[in-house]
C-alpha cells in the first residue's frame, strides 16, 4: 500500500497499533499534533476496513481532526467516498476543497466527474467542465474521458461526442466510454459506427468495449455482426475474459441462439455467479424451462454460491410454468440465505403465488411488506387479483393505493384498465390525464384498447393520436380496433402509415389487417396483397397470421385458397380448425367440414362451443338433420359444453330449413332460458315457405317484443301474409311499421372491379353505365327465355300486376351487379358479388342459367352463406 512519498508494508500488527494510537489520540482534546502522513494513513486504513462506524466514518473523523491537510489527503478521502458509492458526500467534500482555496489536480477532477455521472447531475458536471477549461485540464486524457462518461450518463450524447471529438489524445477507455454511452442511450447505430471507426483507426478494444458492443448488437437484432465481433474476440485473445464471455452469453441468448450461448459457456475455464445466472436466464428467456432447471442443478453441483439474481430468475421461471412446489422450496432457501427480506424477491414470490392461484399466500407476502411497499408491489398484487378473476378486489386495492399515497405508474394504469367493467374507463382516463401519463405508449395503448372493447373506436383514435413515440403495439391495437368494426379502409390506412413512419409490422399487425380485409365490402385484392407482404416479411407461417388468412380467404369466397393455407400450416391451434370448419360450412361443403372435424377429433385439442357452431352449421347448410342432432348431443354429453343461445339458434335453423317447424318449436320451449331475437327471427324466416301463418305470427310477436325497431320482424311477417295472398293483413303490418317509424333495410349488392367497389340497389339507374347494364340484362332475358326460363313471381311480395312482378324480378340488385360484371371484366373471368340480404329463389335460378350461358364462375355471398354457380349448378344443391 502506498502512503505518501514512501512505500510502507502495513501488517495486521501495524493496523492494531495504529488503531490503538487512534483511540488514544481521540480521547485527547488536542489532536492537531497528528502529522499529515499519520492522518492520511489513518484515513486510508479506516476506509478499507469496512462499514461504519469503523470504516469510512472513522476515516472522515480522523481527516477532520487533522490540522495539516493537503491535496493527497483530500483526494484519498474523495476516492474512498466514490468507491463506497457515497457520491453526495464526495461532491460536498469537493465543494469544501474549492472553498478552502486548495488547488486541485486531474485526479480530483476525474473523480468528481465520475461522481456527477453517478448522481445524474449534469448541472454540477457542467460546472466542473468549466473549471477544467479554466485550469487547463481538458488536455488530460483521463479528465476528458471522464467528461465524455459524465455527459453520456446524463443523456447528453451530443456534448459527450463533442468532448470526444476535441480530445487531442484518446485511449481505448475514451472510445469505450463514448461507445457504452451510445449503447446505454439506445443509440445502437451510432455505437456500431463508432466501433467500426475505432477498428479503422487501429484502436484495439478492451473487454469493456466488447461487452458494450455485444449489448448494442443484441438489442439491434444484428446477430450476424455479433458473430463477426466474436471472431475479433478470439483473434484478440479475450476469449478467456470472464466479462467478455458473460456478454457473449447474453447476446446469443437475446438473439434466440441458445446453443451458441451454451457453447461459450462450455468453453469457459472460469465461471462466476453472473455466468451461471446468464445461462439459466438464457434458457428461461427462450422458453426452455427444463434446461433452465438442469442448469440450476449443475450450478449447485459445481458449488457456486446462490446469488439474489439467480433466485429472482428461478422464481420468475416458477411463475411462468406455475411450479408452486419448487417456488416454495426456493422461498425456504431464500430465508436461509438471508435474501428473504429483499423487496424484489418478495415481489417475485408474490407473483408466483398469484399465478398459482395461491391468493392467500400472495396477499400475506404483500401484507408482510407493510411500510416498504412500492408501486411495483402494489401493481403486482392488483395484477394477481385480475389474473384470478377477482376484479372487485383489484379495483379496491387500486383505490386504496391512492389513499395511502402510492402514486400509480404506467404499468399500474395499464393493468387496472383490464378490470372492465368493474372499473370505469372514463374515471381511469381522467386520472391518467391528471398524472400526465396519457402520452405514454403503454398507458395510451391500454386506454385505446379499453375504448375499443366498449365500442368507442373514435375515442380510441383520439387517445392514439396523443401517444408519443408510438410503438408497434400501439399501431397494432389501433389497427385491430378498426378491423373489429369492419373499417377496412382505415385499417389499411393505419398499416400504410406505420410502415411509412419506419415501424416494422409484426405478426399481430398482419393478423389484424388481414382480418379487416375479410369484411364483405373490402377489396378482394387487398387481402392477397397483405398475404404477399406477410410472405415477404417471413411472417406468413406465424400461427395468428395463417389463421387470419384462412378466415379471410373463406369469407372472401376463396375456400380453395383457405384450404391451401390450412394444409400448409406446420402447427394448428383451435382457431385454425374452427376457421376451416366454418369456412367449408359457409360454402356449402358440409361433408368436407365434417371431415375436418373428424381430423380434429384425432388431435389432442380441447374443443369449444365455436367448434360445434361450425359443425352444426355445416349440417344445416347440407340438410344433414340427423347428423346435426348427433353432434349437438356429442357437444353436451361427451365434451361437457353447455349450449349457448348460438347453439340453440343453429339447431332451430337446422330443423326450420328442413321444414321441421314443430321440432324447432319443441326445442325453443325446452330451452333453459327465453329464446333470443336471433332464434325467433330464424323461425319466422322459415315460416314463409310452408306459409305457416299461426307460427309466423307468434314468432313475429316475440321478435317485436324483444326488438321493436328491428325491421326484419315486420318484413318477414308481411312476406308470409303476401305469400299466402292475405294482402289486407300485409297492409296492416306495413302500416304498423310506418306508425313506429321502422324502416326496411334496403337490398344492396356489391361487386369489385379493378380494385374499385360498386354498389347497386334494385332498379338502380345511378351507375354511369346504366344503359349498357340494362341492355345486357335484356340480352340475357332473351337468352334465358330461349332456354325455357319462366319468372317465379311468388317471390314478388307486392300486390301488383303479373307483368310488373316480372319487371321487378329482372331488376333485383344482384342481377344488376352481375350484368355490370359481365360487361366490365374480361371474357371468362370469375364474377363475385356480395348481397346484404338473402338471394331470392327466382334470382338463384337465373344466376345458375347465366353461369351456363356466359361460361362464367359466379360467386354470390348473401346474408346466409356462399353460393358457387358453375355450368348451371350451385354448390348449395338448391338447399339454402
Cell numbers given for 618:
355445416
What is the Cα–Cα distance from 830 to 76, expressed in whole angstroms? 88
Q: What is the pLDDT of residues 465-483, one digit of tens each?
A: 999 888 899 999 999 999 9
pLDDT of residue 618: 94
Q: What is the pLDDT of residues 274-324, one digit of tens each?
A: 899 889 888 888 888 888 888 988 988 888 877 778 888 888 888 877 888
Among 223-232, 730-739, 810-819, the least confident range: 223-232
Among 72-86, 674-688, 823-837, the least confident range: 72-86
Do residues 274 and 293 lie in contact, with contact meaning Cβ atoms separated by under 8 Å? no
pLDDT of residue 462: 94
Is the model's pLDDT at 3 over the cut of 60? no
Sign of CA dihedral 508, 512, 518, 523: negative
Q: Which H, E and C letters describe 99-126, residue by residue?
A: HCCCCCCHHHHHHHHHHHHHCCCHHHHH
- What lies within 8 Å, CB to CB, of 329 at 6+ separation is none
Q: What is the pLDDT of residues 714-769, one digit of tens each?
A: 888 888 888 778 888 888 888 888 888 888 888 899 998 987 889 999 998 999 99
The β-bridge partners of 3 are 6
**Coil, strand, or helix at residue 758?**
strand
Query: How does DSSP classify residue 214?
Result: H
Cell 300485409, residue located: 730
DSSP 820-862: HHHHHS-TT--EEEEESSPPPHHHHHHHHHHHHHHT--EEEE-
- What lies within 8 Å, CB to CB, of 374 at 6+ separation is 343, 406
What is the Cα–Cα distance from 537 to 578, expressed in whole angstroms? 26
- What lies within 8 Å, CB to CB, of 726 at 6+ separation is 693
DSSP 658-670: TT-HHHHHHHHHT
Is the model's pLDDT at 640 over the cut of 80? yes
Mean pLDDT of 792-816: 82
Cell numbers given for 459:
375515442
pLDDT of residue 475: 93
Cell numbers given for 301:
453441483
Q: What is the pLDDT of residues 363-410, one digit of tens each?
A: 887 877 776 778 888 888 888 888 888 888 889 889 988 888 889 999
Q: 61 or 693: which carries more pLDDT confidence?
A: 693
Is the model's pLDDT at 595 over the cut of 90? yes
Highest mean pLDDT range out of 21-25, 108-112, 412-416?
412-416
**Helix 106-118 / helix 87-99 crossing angle, nearest 10 deg:** 140
- What lies within 8 Å, CB to CB, of 552 at 6+ separation is 514, 515, 517, 518, 527, 562
- State the pairing for strand pair 756-761/748-753: antiparallel
What is the Cα–Cα distance from 566 to 522, expressed in whole angstroms? 22
Q: Where are the alpha helices (DSSP H) in 467-607?
A: 472-484, 488-500, 507-516, 524-536, 543-555, 559-568, 574-586, 590-601
Mean pLDDT of 579-593: 93
pTM of the model: 0.67
Query: How does DSSP classify residue 409?
Result: -
* Banded model confidence at residue 502, pLDDT cuts 50, 70, 90: confident
Amino acid at each position: 500500500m502506498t502512503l505518501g512519498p514512501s512505500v510502507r508494508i502495513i501488517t495486521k500488527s501495524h493496523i492494531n497499533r495504529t488503531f490503538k494510537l487512534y483511540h488514544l489520540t481521540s480521547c485527547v482534546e488536542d489532536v492537531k499534533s497528528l502529522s499529515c502522513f499519520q492522518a492520511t494513513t489513518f484515513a486510508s486504513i479506516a476506509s478499507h476496513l469496512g462499514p461504519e462506524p469503523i470504516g469510512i466514518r472513522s476515516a472522515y473523523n480522523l481527516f477532520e481532526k487533522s490540522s495539516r491537510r493537503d491535496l493527497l489527503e483530500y483526494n484519498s478521502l474523495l476516492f474512498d467516498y466514490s468507491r463506497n458509492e457515497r457520491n453526495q458526500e464526495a461532491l460536498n467534500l469537493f465543494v469544501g476543497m474549492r472553498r478552502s482555496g486548495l488547488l486541485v489536480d486531474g485526479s480530483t477532477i476525474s473523480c468528481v466527474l465520475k461522481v456527477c455521472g453517478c448522481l445524474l447531475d449534469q448541472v454540477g458536471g457542467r460546472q466542473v467542465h468549466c473549471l477544467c477549461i479554466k485550469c487547463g485540464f481538458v488536455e488530460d486524457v483521463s479528465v476528458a474521458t471522464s467528461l465524455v462518461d459524465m455527459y453520456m450518463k446524463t443523456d447528453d450524447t451530443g456534448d459527450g461526442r463533442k468532448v470526444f471529438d476535441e480530445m487531442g489524445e484518446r485511449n481505448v477507455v475514451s472510445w469505450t466510454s463514448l461507445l457504452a454511452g451510445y449503447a446505454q442511450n439506445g443509440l445502437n447505430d451510432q455505437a456500431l459506427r463508432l466501433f467500426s471507426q475505432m477498428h479503422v483507426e487501429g484502436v484495439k478494444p478492451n473487454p469493456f468495449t466488447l461487452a458494450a458492443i455485444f449489448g448494442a448488437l443484441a438489442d439491434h437484432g444484428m446477430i450476424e455482426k455479433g458473430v463477426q465481433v466474436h471472431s475479433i474476440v478470439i483473434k484478440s485473445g479475450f476469449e478467456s475474459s470472464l466479462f467478455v464471455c458473460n456478454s457473449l452469453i447474453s447476446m446469443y441468448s437475446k438473439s434466440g441462439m441458445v446453443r451458441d450461448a451454451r457453447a461459450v459457456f462450455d468453453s469457459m475455464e472460469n465461471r462466476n455467479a453472473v455466468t451461471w445466472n446468464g445461462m439459466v436466464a438464457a434458457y428461461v428467456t427462450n422458453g426452455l424451462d427444463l434446461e433452465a432447471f438442469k442448469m440450476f442443478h449443475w450450478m449447485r453441483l459445481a458449488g457456486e454460491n446462490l446469488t439474489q439474481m439467480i433466485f429472482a430468475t428461478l422464481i420468475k421461471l416458477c411463475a411462468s410454468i406455475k411450479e408452486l412446489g419448487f417456488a416454495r422450496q426456493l422461498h425456504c432457501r431464500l430465508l436461509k440465505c438471508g435474501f428473504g427480506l429483499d423487496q424484489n424477491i418478495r415481489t417475485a414470490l408474490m407473483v408466483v403465488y398469484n399465478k398459482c392461484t395461491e391468493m392467500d399466500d400472495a396477499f400475506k407476502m404483500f401484507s408482510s411488506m407493510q411500510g416498504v411497499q412500492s408501486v411495483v408491489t402494489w401493481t403486482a398484487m392488483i395484477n394477481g387479483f385480475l389474473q384470478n378473476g377477482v376484479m372487485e378486489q383489484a379495483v379496491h386495492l387500486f383505490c386504496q393505493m391512492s389513499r395511502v399515497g402510492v402514486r400509480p405508474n404506467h404499468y399500474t394504469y395499464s393493468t387496472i384498465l383490464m378490470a372492465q367493467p368493474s372499473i370505469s374507463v372514463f374515471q381511469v382516463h381522467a386520472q391518467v390525464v391528471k398524472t400526465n401519463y396519457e402520452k405514454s405508449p403503454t398507458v395510451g395503448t391500454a386506454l385505446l384498447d379499453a375504448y375499443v372493447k366498449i365500442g368507442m373506436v373514435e375515442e380510441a383514435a383520439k387517445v392514439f393520436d396523443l401517444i408519443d413515440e408510438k410503438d408497434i403495439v400501439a399501431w397494432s391495437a389501433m389497427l385491430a380496433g378498426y378491423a373489429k368494426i369492419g373499417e377496412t379502409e382505415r385499417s389499411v390506412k393505419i398499416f400504410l402509415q406505420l410502415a411509412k413512419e419506419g415501424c416494422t409490422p409484426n405478426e399481430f399487425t398482419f393478423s389484424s389487417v388481414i382480418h379487416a380485409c375479410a369484411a364483405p365490402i373490402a377489396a378482394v385484392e387487398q387481402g392477397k396483397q397483405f398475404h404477399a407482404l406477410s410472405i415477404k416479411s417471413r411472417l406468413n407461417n406465424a400461427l395468428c397470421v395463417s389463421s387470419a388468412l384462412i378466415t379471410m380467404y373463406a369469407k372472401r369466397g376463396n375456400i380453395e385458397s383457405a384450404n391451401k393455407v390450412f394444409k400448409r400450416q406446420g402447427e394448428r391451434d383451435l382457431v385454425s380448425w374452427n376457421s376451416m370448419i366454418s369456412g367449408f360450412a359457409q360454402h356449402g361443403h358440409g361433408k368436407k367440414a365434417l371431415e375436418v372435424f373428424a381430423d380434429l377429433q384425432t388431435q389432442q385439442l380441447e374443443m369449444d362451443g365455436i367448434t360445434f357452431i361450425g359443425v352444426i352449421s355445416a349440417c344445416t347448410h347440407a340438410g344433414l338433420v340427423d347428423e346435426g342432432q348427433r353432434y349437438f348431443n356429442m357437444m353436451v354429453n361427451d365434451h361437457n359444453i353447455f349450449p349457448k343461445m348460438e347453439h340453440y339458434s343453429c339447431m332451430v335453423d337446422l330443423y326450420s330449413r328442413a321444414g321441421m317447424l314443430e321440432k324447432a318449436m319443441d326445442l325453443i320451449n325446452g330451452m333453459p332460458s327465453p329464446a333470443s331475437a336471433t332464434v325467433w327471427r330464424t323461425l319466422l324466416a322459415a315460416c314463409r315457405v310452408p306459409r305457416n301463418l299461426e307460427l309466423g305470427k307468434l314468432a313475429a310477436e316475440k321478435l317485436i317484443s324483444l326488438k321493436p325497431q328491428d325491421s326484419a320482424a315486420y318484413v318477414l311477417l308481411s312476406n308470409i301474409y303476401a305469400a299466402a295472398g292475405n294482402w289486407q293483413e300485409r297492409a296492416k303490418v306495413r302500416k304498423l311499421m310506418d306508425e313506429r317509424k321502422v324502416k326496411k333495410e334496403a337490398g344492396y349488392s356489391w361487386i369489385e372491379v379493378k380494385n374499385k367497389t360498386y354498389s347497386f340497389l334494385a332498379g338502380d339507374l345511378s351507375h354511369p353505365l346504366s344503359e349498357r347494364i340494362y341492355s345486357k340484362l335484356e340480352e340475357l332475358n332473351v337468352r334465358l327465355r330461349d332456354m325455357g326460363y319462366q319468372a317465379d313471381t311468388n317471390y314478388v311480395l307486392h300486390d301488383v300486376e303479373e307483368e310488373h312482378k316480372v319487371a321487378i324480378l329482372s331488376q333485383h340488385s344482384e342481377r344488376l351487379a352481375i350484368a355490370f360484371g359481365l360487361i366490365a371484366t374480361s371474357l371468362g373471368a370469375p364474377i363475385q358479388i356480395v348481397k346484404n340480404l338473402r338471394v331470392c329463389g327466382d334470382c338463384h335460378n337465373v344466376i345458375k342459367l347465366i353461369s351456363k350461358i356466359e361460361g362464367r364462375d359466379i360467386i354470390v355471398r348473401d346474408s346466409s352463406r356462399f353460393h358457387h354457380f358453375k355450368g348451371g349448378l350451385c354448390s348449395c344443391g338448391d338447399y339454402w
